[in-house]
Structure 1
Amino acid sequence: MSAGPIDAAWLAAHPLPDHAQGTDKNARGRVLLVGGSVFVPGALGLTGEAVLRAGAGKLQIATVDAAAMHLGVLVPEAAMIGLPTDAEGEIAENAAYKLTDAARYCDAMLIGPGMVSTQSAKALVEGLFGELGDGHVAVLDAAAISCARCMAPQIAALGGRVILTPHHGEMASLTGMDIDDIAADPIDCARSIAAVYNAVVVLKAGATVVATPDGEALRYASDCVGLATGGSGDVLAGIIAGLAARGADPLTAAAWGVWLHGEAGQAAAGRIGPIGFLARDLMMEIPGLMSRAGGSSPGLR
């Protein structure tokens, strides 16, 4: 089966939440971002800035103690929570206890960017999912996807409020399928996993597929090779979480996030060059793209 395009018509039919003048930062949504490691200490800087560029009002970043102070300087708009660290430089498996209040009061929770250990990610997911408020959204990225294979019942129990963001390698880990088989039919693969996990799936590639538990599928092809760079996926996850915190439903947050990420890549390629721009170069494009897409810009594809 085919997938519909994420284009101007789809975006117009599924607008982002409108925040009127006088809206305070709490009403624009609160994100709890959990991840990072000593090995990749700066990943959450990219993700956190993307959360805020997507319009979320408040951000808390929880990461290994050794990186927390540095990230606080890198993203001064965010509150920082230092977490206990294990011998491998990963968030300790017992760290969730420090985040129960933050998880309870956030509108969107993003777990996994910058993490390597699936065991640490699994412990965080298990410890924090039960704290998520009614109607609030969880985004699982990177190591948090790899650990999800044995957690289908817990994820499904959130009733479609989880967004999974695997690339083909992570999807292979999640499903046990061969990467070539996933690439041969990514739409069917994304649909089937969305149904099993009762979650929205963002299967990342040059042509990204977004699928829902009820079988709806969308597709966006950026044709932007420059997006194949370190940190690009961290930015995408942050955009999606920021939009979800603002009140976008999971499908709308995922599809808009994919579109904004891809169009930001196109803009950076035109401004800097097709290859060699950095994930951080995407950030400044996001607010303008959202603004133009919310109107009647003829430039939308």
Structure 2
Amino acid sequence: MKIVTGETMQGLDRRVIDEFGIPGLQLMENAGRGCAVAITEAFPAAARAVVVAGKGNNGGDGYVIARLLRESGWEVRTIVLAARAEIGGDALTNLQRLNPESLIFSPAPGGLLPYRQILDEATVIVDSLLGTGLKNPVSAVYAEAITLINGSGKPVVAVDIPSGIAAGSGEVLGVAVRAAMTVTFGLAKIGHVVYPGCEYCGSLKIVDIGIPAEVSSSAEGVDFVDSVTASRLLIRRERRAHKGAFGHCLIIAGSTGKTGAAAMAANSAVRAGSGLVSLAVPVVLNPILEVKTTEAMTIPLPDDGQGFLGSTALPAIVGAWEGKDSIAIGPGMSWNTATAELVRQVIRLVTAPLVVDADGLNALSEEVEALANKKSPTVVLTPHPGEMARLTGASIAEIEADRLGVARAFSVRYGVYVILKGARTVVAAPDGRLSINGSGNPGMASGGMGDVLTGIVTSLLGQGYEPFTACQLAVFIHGYAADLVAGEKGEIGMSAVDVQEHLPVAFRSLN
């Protein structure tokens, strides 16, 4: 599903008006009608609505909704947070179509309190205050209205986006309406699907307002990966296929005390469908990994008896990656000088698709420019916000404030694929493409989850998926398997191995 910014959507509206000759008044009518239908379908027993409207086009949509609900037999009052003289254009045309006796104009701060009873008596409140053009924090009478709406305890239907949510980032601009349902137009907006905005939207319904398909399809947007999208990404298997058809991946991982990370990455690659998996580990740890992995093969690497890998392991690693379809490095390797230099040497030498995670990312953070000398055309980095902060030199707060922008900028600059983990994980490609993941839950906030994801990404790359698709599908399957675990066991106490074991079920559910 494509999602866009508010600015992009406004540009589409202008193009439809200018190039296709569809009047703005007609688009407003279509939007209001779509909302009115959604309201009556969602609340069939309701009979009393209060529309709280602003003076712009979002308010104009609300005036259409008020008229259509009234025509269908509802009792409707419309509270306008502006003076009549402030309203113009298409919004004024639709305001004039309303029964004057149903209108209340309350433009001044403090003027809404006498109308609290009207809100309390409503069965549905319609929020058509601010829309997707909002850029600055909500203040004055608008902030008061939002506070009263949220305090009413009534179900709220937001028109286009809950008032107070930034359409391009999901940021709460001071205060925001908490809706039971949001009805948006043409395309979903980024603020609908990322946190914290998505928590304010309730259920999201997208209605067609007559924007030609050629206009929508040409819009610059971001992919939102849900189960429908993920199913389309999945490559169906030939019935006569054999293990050689599904890739042989190599995972370089592990150090003393961190054998679990190595095992989870390898076992997850198996569960994600790799034909063969080899796990390269420090030789002193090989007996442990022989026990922790059954289907994966182990490759003991020279470690000078230290339990971690350094430059003496490089010749063996170069030999091990011959004939491999994808490679991962980093899980549980430890962060020390010798290991960090080994990671950077591997990045400079390997030509196969490469996934760098965990301590591999820590090694890169000391010398990010090592990426400029990479030989592989496909390098995937899988940082969480803390790791991304170390890679970029920004603070975690800065990373979280602009996850899409940070991921895209780094990806384009260094020619790598970035999976920026977190709630609504972001995937960025070197050509500027962006994707937001729609699966997962808070139960995934536990150790080892990143190692599972590394195994899945490496597996899909080895199976021949296009890199951006491999990243998108891996992230979705990872979260979807966790959602399946949550459905069976709950979120609290969920382990990475629980998710790993549910990977085949997750794939089956999409197939």
Taking structure 1 as the reference length, what is the TM-score of the superposition? 0.90
Taking the aligned partners of 2:450 and 2:284, their CA distance within structure 1 comes to 23
1:216 is aligned to 2:433: yes
Matched AA of 1:68: N
Measured after TM superposition, the shift of residue 96 of structure 1 is 1.3
Measured after TM superposition, the shift of residue 258 of structure 1 is 0.6
Taking the aligned partners of 1:257 and 1:200, their CA distance within structure 2 comes to 13
1:268 counterpart residue number = 485
2:276 counterpart residue number = 58
Listed as ranges, the matches of 1:97-108 within 5 Å are: 97-108=315-326
1:150 is aligned to 2:369: yes
1:10 counterpart residue number = 229
Matched AA of 1:200: Y
Measured after TM superposition, the shift of residue 125 of structure 1 is 4.1
Runs of 4+ aligned residues of structure 1 deviating over 4 Å after TM superposition are none
8 A contact 1:118–1:144 mirrored in 2 = no
Alignment CA distance shift 1:86-1:178 (3 Å): farther
Taking the aligned partners of 1:19 and 1:247, their CA distance within structure 2 comes to 12
8 A contact 1:122–1:144 mirrored in 2 = no
**What SS is found at the alignment partner of 1:26?**
helix
Taking the aligned partners of 1:125 and 1:245, their CA distance within structure 2 comes to 21
Taking the aligned partners of 2:246 and 2:369, their CA distance within structure 1 comes to 34
Listed as ranges, the matches of 1:116-195 within 5 Å are: 116-117=334-335, 119=337, 120-127=339-346, 129-132=348-351, 136-148=352-364, 149-155=368-374, 157-159=375-377, 161-195=378-412
1:80 is aligned to 2:298: yes
1:257 counterpart residue number = 474
RMSD: 1.8
Measured after TM superposition, the shift of residue 10 of structure 1 is 2.6
Tell which deviates more after alignment, 227-236 or 123-132.
Answer: 123-132
Measured after TM superposition, the shift of residue 215 of structure 1 is 1.0
8 A contact 2:404–2:426 mirrored in 1 = yes
Match of residue 94, structure 1, among 284, 305, 312: 312
Aligned residues: 288
Taking the aligned partners of 2:491 and 2:346, their CA distance within structure 1 comes to 42
Measured after TM superposition, the shift of residue 144 of structure 1 is 1.1
Match of residue 502, structure 2, among 279, 285, 293: 285
Matched AA of 1:230: G
Unaligned runs of 5+ residues in structure 2 are: 6-189, 191-221
**What SS is found at the alignment partner of 1:207?**
coil
1:298 counterpart residue number = none
Taking the aligned partners of 1:98 and 1:223, their CA distance within structure 2 comes to 38
Matched AA of 2:370: M
1:42 counterpart residue number = 260
Taking the aligned partners of 1:172 and 1:59, their CA distance within structure 2 comes to 31
Alignment CA distance shift 1:180-1:95 (3 Å): same
Alignment CA distance shift 1:30-1:223 (3 Å): closer
Taking structure 2 as the reference length, what is the TM-score of the superposition? 0.54
8 A contact 1:111–1:125 mirrored in 2 = no
Taking the aligned partners of 1:14 and 1:126, their CA distance within structure 2 comes to 33
Match of residue 69, structure 1, among 281, 287, 290: 287
